[in-house]
């Protein structure tokens, strides 16, 4: 049995799950804007214990790599890399959009729509946006944009599904010509989806680097000379 630990701290939550050959053995999650650094390791210990395994039984660690909140990404990636290093196991970086896309596919969010829009809160005036066609193929490179710009990214498609933790900010940008389905339950990355994608990435780990994926540079102010 291949055991994968999935971790997410990329957005406004903290979550961990243990999967054995793709089946969930244990999961825990909590919504939080901050505090992931204090919560994550006890949560991991808890799901390992609940799964009835030991740390040494883990075959790989999968973690969301972004886009998302800068602090949350650093917390999750640092913990995942440290744990994988200690265990001498692969550490696999999974895109936040990829995890949410898998959740949308599982939930049937593509049924009857022409495009799916995934929107993540950037904690700024813009939003992190990815747009997919009705088969789940990307229509453009994910990017940061204002809510008012999202309809242009969708193009001529008019039946839309919207997911992600910033979906409520995006939905009003679509006018009367659009038919919009909002899936409020698909808002944060599910650690089970992260682990499933990690399991699939074991065949090509170089394609899943555990490095942060940023859609814009961090907001920093350099000291004056």
Residue 221's pLDDT band, with cuts at 50, 70 and 90, is: very low
Ramachandran angles phi, psi of 6, nearest 5° = -105, 135
- Domain ranges across the chain: 3-96+188-207, 109-182
Q: What mean pLDDT is predicted for residues 22-26? A: 97
From CA 125, how far away is CA 146, in angstroms rounded? 7
Q: Where does the pLDDT of residue 215 fall: very low under 50, low under 70, confident under 90, or very high at 90 and above?
A: confident
What's the CATH number for 3-96+188-207? 3.30.420.40
Q: What confidence category does residue 225 fall into, taking pLDDT thresholds of 50, 70 and 90?
A: low
What are 28-60's pLDDT values in tens digits?
Answer: 999 998 999 999 999 999 999 999 999 999 999
Share of the chain above pLDDT 70, in %: 96
Full-model pTM: 0.94
pLDDT at site 126: 93
> Could you check whether 3-96+188-207 and 109-182 share the same CATH topology?
yes
Q: Is the pLDDT of residue 71 over 50?
A: yes
For residue 189, pLDDT beyond 90:
yes
pLDDT value at 208 more than 90: yes
Beta carbons within 10 angstroms of residue 216's beta carbon: 12
Which CATH superfamily is 109-182 part of?
ATPase, nucleotide binding domain (3.30.420.40)
Express each pLDDT in 89-144 by its tens digit: 999 999 999 999 999 999 999 999 999 999 999 988 899 999 999 999 999 899 99
Least confident of 68-72, 73-77, 182-186, 194-198: 68-72
Q: What is the rounded (10 degree) CA torsion for 97, 69, 196, 109?
A: -40
Count Cα atoms within 13 angstroms, Cβ side, for 78.
10
């Amino acid at each position: 049995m291949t055991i994968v630990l999935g971790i997410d701290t990329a957005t406004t939550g903290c979550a961990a799950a243990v999967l054995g050959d793709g089946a969930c053995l244990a999961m825990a999650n909590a919504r939080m804007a901050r505090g992931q650094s204090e919560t994550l390791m006890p949560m991991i210990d808890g799901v390992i214990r609940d799964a009835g395994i030991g740390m040494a039984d883990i075959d790989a660690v999968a973690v969301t790599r972004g886009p998302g909140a800068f602090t949350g990404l650093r917390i999750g990636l640092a913990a995942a890399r440290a744990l994988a290093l200690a265990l001498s196991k692969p550490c696999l970086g999974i895109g936040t959009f990829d995890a949410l896309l898998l959740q949308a596919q599982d939930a049937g969010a593509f049924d009857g729509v022409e495009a799916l829009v995934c929107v993540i809160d950037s904690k700024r005036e813009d939003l992190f946006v990815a747009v997919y066609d009705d088969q789940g193929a990307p229509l453009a490179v994910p990017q940061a944009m204002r809510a008012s710009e999202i309809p242009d990214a969708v193009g001529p498609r008019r039946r839309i599904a919207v997911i992600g933790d910033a979906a409520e900010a995006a939905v009003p940008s679509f006018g009367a010509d659009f038919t919009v389905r909002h899936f409020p339950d698909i808002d944060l990355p599910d650690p089970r989806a992260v682990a499933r994608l990690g399991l699939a990435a074991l065949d090509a780990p170089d394609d899943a680097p555990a490095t942060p994926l940023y859609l814009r540079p961090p907001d920093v102010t350099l000291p004056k000379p």
